[in-house]
């Protein structure tokens, strides 16, 4: 009998399978883009053999929360992500998706995707077709954004949608789901959606649920009224009967520090009756558009971009106020449209949220920012290197589960997120002793240390610190 043959065998690594279970030493065979075997594979032959002695072999990381809609097309190497071991990104979060919308001058926060010329997709299908014709280095899971739909269908945004407008938006959700989108997102705190009604959100989420979709929400409030926002989210989850994800869970502002004890209990209680989860990024500063309503809760604000004053990128807002002799509100008006980093969370809250069983890691990175929040380049190696290895917040296996198995299960992607026979071969090999984020608030564009090689659908995308030129990324559909 002929020997068993594989395209690729990774030998002798410490396999972390994505479930949170204890790691084990094994070889791993890949054939035709799938994991063909895991175990002692000494009698197999292969075209390519990789020695993973002293290294960890894990499922490719899934970035549960991104704004990568544009960069997937404009920078298909996806270097900020592949350099962290990411093999799949969930895009279209916070109510903002590039499609379906044609617009020259979209209102904030739609402009956080960058470049006004990019809102040029008449349909979700047109976006998916372009992505499939010109694939990036990572897989993607697409969400259609509520704010994008409101801009596309309403003449003014300072009111709830009418019945006719809801019907229009329902049709757009239906066609996005038919085109292969995986769900619906909201950004209820942002100006384009803050006036929307709960009923409008439930109606649209219901359409996504009918197609096995997921609902993700940047809630109406993440500070003084975070508890009410979680209640609203639970009502939507029940009303639409949909798997729901709270985006970038946190409690902002010093007066709300410590409240994650209560919010996590609230979430845990709700999990008895609804499918509810959240994503979290491992930093105590947030980042989004520079808007006056965010001023009161932040201790320190850094400007990440400004159309009017590009030279002030990376400058403290307080310095700008002093130099100009103006109030923070006046400075915001003069800098706008602009983006910012807000230091407004507590480390103890962050660690409590990271530690919650079943949590998912999402970077919320903003790839268009000239001076991005370091989460864009550092999130995943930071959770493993800083929080799991150096601080001992949880075992390595738990860190990996939060960026692989938990996420695939929550989003209903049944053939990813685990190292198991038959799974798609999205794999990262990393050095457990050296893995660490290098991006900082002062120097944010820095690839992480310790990521050795990354495979997407069995093809090598990242090795020796650079992109290999391969573009095997697929648009993934929910199947579970």
Stretch that binds Zn ion, among 74-82, 86-94, 114-122, 141-149 (CB under 5 A): 86-94
- Closer residue to Cu ion (CB): 20 or 372: 372
Closest CA to 73 of 147, 146, 128, 141: 128
Stretch that binds Cu ion, among 38-46, 51-59, 85-93, 388-396 (CB under 5 A): 85-93
Q: Residue 218 interacts with Zn ion (CB under 5 A)?
A: yes
Shortest approach of Cu ion to residue 60 CB, angstroms? 21
- Closer residue to Zn ion (CB): 240 or 245: 245
Look at the alpha carbons of 80, 81, 84, 90 in this order and tell me if their dihedral is positive or negative.
Answer: positive
Shortest approach of Cu ion to residue 94 CB, angstroms? 4
Q: Residue 93 interacts with Cu ion (CB under 5 A)?
A: yes
- Closer residue to Zn ion (CB): 218 or 382: 218
Judged by CB under 5 A, the residue of 17, 200, 349, 364 near Cu ion is: 364
Tell me how far apart the alpha carbons of residues 285 and 386 are, in angstroms, rounded to a whole number: 16
Tell me how far apart the alpha carbons of residues 331 and 325 are, in angstroms, rounded to a whole number: 9
Query: Cα 310 to chain center, whole Å?
Result: 27
End-to-end C-alpha distance for the chain, whole angstroms: 38
Q: Residue 94 interacts with Cu ion (CB under 5 A)?
A: yes
Tell me how far apart the alpha carbons of residues 454 and 280 are, in angstroms, rounded to a whole number: 23
Stretch that binds Zn ion, among 173-181, 213-221, 402-410, 412-420 (CB under 5 A): 213-221
Tell me which of Zn ion, Cu ion, none is bound by residue 250, counting a contact when its beta carbon lies within the kind-specific cut-off of 5 to 8 angstroms: none
Judged by CB under 5 A, the residue of 94, 112, 144, 354 near Zn ion is: 94
Q: Residue 148 interacts with Cu ion (CB under 5 A)?
A: no
Closest CA to 67 of 247, 220, 254: 247
Shortest approach of Cu ion to residue 281 CB, angstroms? 9
* 53 DSSP assignment: T
Tell me how far apart the alpha carbons of residues 478 and 112 are, in angstroms, rounded to a whole number: 26
- Closer residue to Cu ion (CB): 92 or 472: 92
Order of strands across the sheet that contains 285-289: 285-289, 338-343, 300-306
Count of residues engaged in binding Cu ion, rule: CB under 5 A: 3
Tell me how far apart the alpha carbons of residues 65 and 179 are, in angstroms, rounded to a whole number: 20
Shortest approach of Cu ion to residue 181 CB, angstroms? 17
Count of residues engaged in binding Zn ion, rule: CB under 5 A: 2
* 2 DSSP assignment: P
Look at the alpha carbons of 283, 361, 77, 58 in this order and tell me if their dihedral is positive or negative.
Answer: positive
Q: What residues make contact with Zn ion under the rule CB under 5 A?
A: 94, 218
Footprint of Cu ion on this chain (CB under 5 A)? 93-94, 364
């Amino acid at each position: 009998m002929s020997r068993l043959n594989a395209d690729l065998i990774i030998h002798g690594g410490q396999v972390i399978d994505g479930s949170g279970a204890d790691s084990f030493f094994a070889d791993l065979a890949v054939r035709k883009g799938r994991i063909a075997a895991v175990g002692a594979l000494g009698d197999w032959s292969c075209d390519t053999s990789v020695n993973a002695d002293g290294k960890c072999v894990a499922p490719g990381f899934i970035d549960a929360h991104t704004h990568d809609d544009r960069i997937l097309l404009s920078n298909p190497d996806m270097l900020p992500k592949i350099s962290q071991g990411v093999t799949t990104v969930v895009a279209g979060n916070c109510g903002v998706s590039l499609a379906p919308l044609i617009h020259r001058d979209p209102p904030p926060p739609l402009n956080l995707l960058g470049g006004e010329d990019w809102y040029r997709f008449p349909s979700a299908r047109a976006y998916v077709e372009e992505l499939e014709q010109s694939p990036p280095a990572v897989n993607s899971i697409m969400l259609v954004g509520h704010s994008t739909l409101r801009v596309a269908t309403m003449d003014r945004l300072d009111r709830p949608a009418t019945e006719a407008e809801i019907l229009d938006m329902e049709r757009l959700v239906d066609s996005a789901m038919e085109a292969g989108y995986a769900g619906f997102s909201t950004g209820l705190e942002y100006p384009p959606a803050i006036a929307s009604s709960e009923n409008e959100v439930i109606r649209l989420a219901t359409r996504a649920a009918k197609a096995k979709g997921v609902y993700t929400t940047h809630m109406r409030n993440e500070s003084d009224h975070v508890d009410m926002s979680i209640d609203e989210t639970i009502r939507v989850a029940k009303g639409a009967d949909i798997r729901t994800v709270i985006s970038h869970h946190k409690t902002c502002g010093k007066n709300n520090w410590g409240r994650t004890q209560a919010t996590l209990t609230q979430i845990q209680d709700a999990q008895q009756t609804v499918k509810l989860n959240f994503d979290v990024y491992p930093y105590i500063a947030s980042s989004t558009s520079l808007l006056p309503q965010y001023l009161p809760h932040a201790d320190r604000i850094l400007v990440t971009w400004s159309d009017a004053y590009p030279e002030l990128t990376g400058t403290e807002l307080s310095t700008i106020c002093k130099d100009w002799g103006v109030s923070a509100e006046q400075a915001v008006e003069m800098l706008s449209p602009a983006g910012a980093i807000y230091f407004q969370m507590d480390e103890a809250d962050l660690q409590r949220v990271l530690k919650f069983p079943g949590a998912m890691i999402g970077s919320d990175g903003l790839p268009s920012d000239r001076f991005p929040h370091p989460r864009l380049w550092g999130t995943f190696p930071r959770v493993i290197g800083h929080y799991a290895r150096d601080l001992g917040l949880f075992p390595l296996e738990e860190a990996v589960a939060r960026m692989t198995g938990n996420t695939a299960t929550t989003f209903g992607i049944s053939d990813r997120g685990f190292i198991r026979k038959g799974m798609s071969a999205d794999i990262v090999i990393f050095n457990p002793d050296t893995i660490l984020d290098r991006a900082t608030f002062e120097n944010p564009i820095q690839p992480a240390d310790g990521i050795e090689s990354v495979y997407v659908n069995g093809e090598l995308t990242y090795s020796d610190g650079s992109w290999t030129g391969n573009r095997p990324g697929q648009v993934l559909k929910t199947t579970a």
